[in-house]
Amino acid sequence: MTVAGVTLHERRWGARGARRAVVLVHATGETSADWAEVAEALAADRLVVAVDLRGHGASPWPGAYALPDLAQDLTVTVERLHDESRSDGGHRAVDVVAHSLGGLVACLVASGRPDLVRRLVLEDVPVPHPREPRPPVRPSGELAFDWEAVLQVRAQIDAPDRRWPEVVAAVTAPALVVWGGPSSPMPPAHVAEMATTVADGRLVRIDAGHLVHATEPEAFTRTVRDFLDSPA
């Protein structure tokens, strides 16, 4: 798909015509491949689509990584899934499962286009607050992502837009916030704030650190499935 000249890459599991589509959005420095184990588990009765955000994986690395641009990319992905779902006679709204940076991007989409997102899972995602910058050290060797994307994203999270609480409060889709427990580097109060600021949020704890879906994939997938399948 093309977004302002940027073609995004995605991986798919399951099949068109499944009862519902779920979109998986990775963290900074990860790719769609990071979701493979979770995607395979969810694909039994769903179409699962994992995207590479711009500057990551097989998507283009344009050198500019403003969070609203990443959100616009994701919006186009979800809109296209809507069109596919309608053509197959299925549901239009999709579910979104997103980790860290991906969760912030998903919040921008869900708040700006509430018609696109049915339910939202935010894995270890705090409401952004100003924090002391700690410049990251570039790993050695070839990377599967643009290091400039890491630097630009970190700068936007270190000194976040003041409107983030308003953005989060505008998320009307039922949201599940998964906290990784005390070993996660995310401030627990800010993760809890995410669950209390969205219009319909709940908080669960899985003691796995920041990489919940990778460290405890079975517990994470079971929790996500229970939430997505629960009655409205």
Q: What is the DSSP string of 160-224?
A: --TTHHHHHHT--S-EEEEE--TTSSS-HHHHHHHHHHSTTEEEEE-SS-S-HHHHSHHHHHHHH
d(CA 14, CA 138): 36
pLDDT per residue as tens digits for the range 202-222? 999 999 999 999 999 999 999
Contact 95, 119 (CB under 8 A): yes
Contact 213, 123 (CB under 8 A): yes
Question: What count of other Cβ atoms lies within 10 Å of the Cβ of residue 6?
Answer: 18
- Taking 50 as the threshold, does the pLDDT of residue 46 lie above it? yes
Which structural domain range is residue 118 located in?
2-229
pLDDT per residue as tens digits for the range 2-21? 445 477 899 999 976 677 89
pLDDT of amino acid 1? 44
110 dihedral zone (left: phi>0; alpha: psi -120 to 50; beta): alpha
pLDDT > 90 in the chain, percent:
84
pLDDT of amino acid 4? 57
Q: Nearest CA to 47 among 74, 25, 23, 79?
A: 23
pLDDT of amino acid 8? 82
pLDDT of amino acid 216? 98
pLDDT of amino acid 2? 43
* SS3 state at 226: helix
The count of domains in the chain is: 1
Give the CA-trace dihedral at 42, 76, 102, 117, to 10 degrees: -60
The token duo for 107 is 């919040």
Which residues neighbour 94 within 8 Å (Cβ) at sequence distance 6 or greater? 20, 21, 22, 23, 78, 81, 82, 85, 116, 117, 118
pLDDT per residue as tens digits for the range 76-115? 989 988 877 665 555 579 999 999 999 999 999 999 999 9
pLDDT of amino acid 190? 98
Least confident range from 61-70, 78-87, 180-189, 206-215: namely 78-87
Q: Which residue has the higher pLDDT, 62 or 89?
A: 62
pLDDT of amino acid 3? 45
d(CA 61, CA 101): 17
pLDDT of amino acid 86? 61
Handedness of CA 110, 111, 113, 115 (dihedral sign): positive
CATH of the domain at 114: 3.40.50.1820
